[in-house]
Structure 1
Amino acid sequence: MKQRVTGYDLARALALFGMVIVNFKVAMSAETGHAFLMNFATLLEGRASALFVVLAGVGVTFLTAKARNSVDKTLVLKTRISLVKRGLLLVVIGLIFTPMWEADILHFYGFYFLIAAAIFMVQEKSLLWISIIIMLIFPVLMLLFNFEQNWDWDTLTYNNFWSVDGMIRHIFFNGFHPVFPWAAFLTFGMWLGRQDLSLKLIRKKLFLGALITLIVTECSFYYLRNILNDAGGSIMTAEEITFLFSTSIIPPMPQYIISAGSSAVLVLIACLYLSERFCETKITKYLYQTGQLSLTLYIAHIIVGMGFLESIGRLENQSIDFSLLSSLIFCTGGIAFSVVWLKYFDVGPLEWIFRKVAR
């Protein structure tokens, strides 16, 4: 169990680093610089955050294990209330945080947790079906509503967020990480957490299944886009084809959910293996500790990291080279902070608050 937990912490640290890289790139409007570095940063868009949500689902499974294995209705109710408290706290913190960082994921996280509170007692296979249903609701919503409403794509700004209509649309349909379909990552993570990943055979099956799914999905939609583009644009423009048939984060179509979910499984299984293979190395231990403070460091990379860059006038219109350098400096500082903090305390500052609220 120790190896299993540290493997998740390692994956959480990597997910955090990926989100820092992506968010710094977006905040700095880093669209110039070395092509390889640009492709590297672009590759992480929508993947690191997906891994983060999948890991949250795994965490929910661990938090609710005792209640699920119990016939005590009082314990089940207490566990459900605990998840609701966590969800509401995330919603509040996220909404307070949104004026500073419009691409905040925490308030979305809160709604994912509210869904988890409602369904954590369902059967294992039902979690997969719920994930599929949540994923497929999104394209249905796209047929009924305008996905681009309230968006300024040139600045990646969401207008009318604080109106009732704007907030509902943003949270459930067309925000940065809307409940439909992003909650599918969490419910899938809840299913994944119920698998015995200490068994090498199960890991191998999951890894191969995720790898095949990723390759098939990416290749299929790559060729589909080429076929539609070769048709001469008689049905759709090149922009519309890319918009509807890409595996990128916007819009989060089913093929994106499947692709990003598969890549999340690959990284997670790799981290479980690495946590066993290199469990005694210092850098691995440091990364474990960084993963334990992921929530605190997520907030810090906006307030401290971007706040400092803004104070020195280096937050906007920077190159990808400078953006990645800034990300590297912050992540290195985050590792150092985590190691020092955990010498004196058991959990991170924000993680401690969440424990208190959940109780």
Structure 2
Amino acid sequence: MQRFEALDAARFLAYCGMVLVNFRIAAQVVPGQDWASGFIDALEGRAAALFVILAGIGVGLARLSVSLLLRRAAFLFVLGLINMTVFDADILHFYALYFLIGAAFLASSPRGLWLGALGIVGLSALAHLIFDYDRGWDWSTLTYTDLWTLPGFLRNAVFNGWHPVLPWAAFLLIGMAIGRSQLHTICIQHRLIMWGFGAAVLALFPRILVSDPYLGTASIPPGPFYILAGTGSSCVVIGLLLKLWPRIQRLGIAAALTAPGRISLTLYVAHILIGMGILDEAGLLNGSLSAVQILGYGVGFCVASSGFALVWRRRFHRGPLEALMRFVTDRSRA
């Protein structure tokens, strides 16, 4: 059970990173040169990548059926569309599309999953050669002009949205492959740490040699070396948590990390509706906040999320949205 608890903790850390990044986007904070901006910059694209890889690991560990995975995809797609009316950078409807890809690979071997991930990255690179990545975007306001039209929605979802299927679905397949390894063994944990660190460092070199943004490690546009960097950093975090989990338990902070990780779907929606809602009611979604202020508010919200999860888990086994998803998609096990 230690490996599952460590993955729950990793999920909470990914959630915290996404909170900081999304709060900065919503508050229209202009990136600066201070340490807080640099810290949030380092999380951008990495936290969400860890979130998706962990979802893939969950699919790999759970051995879900195709029909159940598709029903969960439908649930997340509807929830994501609702969430998009509040926050355009929603990731849930993208999750649903990743699950469609994952369903096609459920019976694949780890090697097949890695090859599938490489194929998705290759298709993404081909798409960038053929299509205009900037189409639909107003980069000055970070808005997508034709998002709610069918052509615009499909383009955004598959090619040039915040987390498009090409190439983000590769993270899910990579997670599925990792989930089918012996995560409880020291050997696999060391491989995750060492190979992950090597991949993250290797991904930095092309950008040093060539000025093309597509060959960089930024999530926009998401090039192949971004996928390499995101996978590498995620593997390091997962490997370290798996290896160090017994020590973390002895520190007495394990429950504060695992409880929110187990209700991350509920907390993700809450950080948009409640966290951003508070900023909106206070009139702070206008670029008036600094990166340091966003960092403080975001960390405070994450601490509050952990406290809420600890209280909730004392009485309920699942979070509200997790229970609703299970009831809607898998009534026989509700």
Tell me which interval the TM-score lies in, with the shorter structure as reference length.
Answer: over 0.9
| Residues 148-297 of structure 1 mapped to structure 2, 5 A cutoff | 148-218=134-204, 220-225=205-210, 241-297=211-267
Report which of the two structures shows the higher radius of gyration computed on alpha carbons: 1
Deviations along 1:12-42, whole A, 9 cap, x unmatched?
0000000000001111122266711110010
| Residues 1-359 of structure 1 mapped to structure 2, 5 A cutoff | 2-31=1-30, 35-64=34-63, 79-218=65-204, 220-225=205-210, 241-317=211-287, 318-359=289-330
Unaligned runs of 5+ in 2: none
Deviations along 1:48-101, whole A, 9 cap, x unmatched?
00000000000111221xx6xxxxxxxxxxx11100000011111111111200
CA positional deviation for 1:193: 0.2
Query: In structure 2, what residue type is equivalent to 1:354?
Result: M
Unaligned runs of 5+ in 1: 68-78, 226-240
Contact 1:10 1:275 in 2 (8 A): no
Contact 2:26 2:285 in 1 (8 A): yes
Separation in structure 2 between the aligned mates of residue 166 and residue 279 of structure 1, nearest angstrom: 47
Deviations along 1:142-198, whole A, 9 cap, x unmatched?
111111000011111111111111011011101100001000000000000001011
Contact 1:21 1:324 in 2 (8 A): yes
Deviations along 1:257-305, whole A, 9 cap, x unmatched?
0111110000111111232222143322111101011110000000000
TM-score by length of 2: 0.96
Contact 2:23 2:276 in 1 (8 A): yes
Q: 1:110 to 1:153 in 2, by over 3 A?
A: same
Separation in structure 1 between the aligned mates of residue 157 and residue 32 of structure 2, nearest angstrom: 34
Deviations along 1:102-159, whole A, 9 cap, x unmatched?
0000000001111112211112210000000001111100111111000011111111
Separation in structure 1 between the aligned mates of residue 317 and residue 240 of structure 2, nearest angstrom: 26
CA positional deviation for 1:306: 0.4
Contact 2:186 2:243 in 1 (8 A): no
Give the match's secondary structure for 1:278.
Answer: helix
TM-score by length of 1: 0.89
**Which shifted more, 131-140 or 114-123?**
114-123
Deviations along 1:216-251, whole A, 9 cap, x unmatched?
221x124213xxxxxxxxxxxxxxx34222210000
Separation in structure 1 between the aligned mates of residue 43 and residue 273 of structure 2, nearest angstrom: 22
Structure with bigger RCO (C-alpha 8 Å, 6+ apart): 1
Separation in structure 2 between the aligned mates of residue 285 and residue 358 of structure 1, nearest angstrom: 28
Identical pairs, percent = 39
Give the match's secondary structure for 1:133.
Answer: helix
**Which shifted more, 14-23 or 55-64?**
55-64
CA positional deviation for 1:326: 1.1
Separation in structure 1 between the aligned mates of residue 71 and residue 266 of structure 2, nearest angstrom: 18
Contact 1:33 1:321 in 2 (8 A): no
Number of matched residues?
329
Contact 1:221 1:247 in 2 (8 A): no
Separation in structure 2 between the aligned mates of residue 142 and residue 351 of structure 1, nearest angstrom: 36
Give the match's secondary structure for 2:203.
Answer: helix
Separation in structure 2 between the aligned mates of residue 242 and residue 44 of structure 1, nearest angstrom: 21
CA positional deviation for 1:202: 1.7
Separation in structure 2 between the aligned mates of residue 56 and residue 304 of structure 1, nearest angstrom: 24
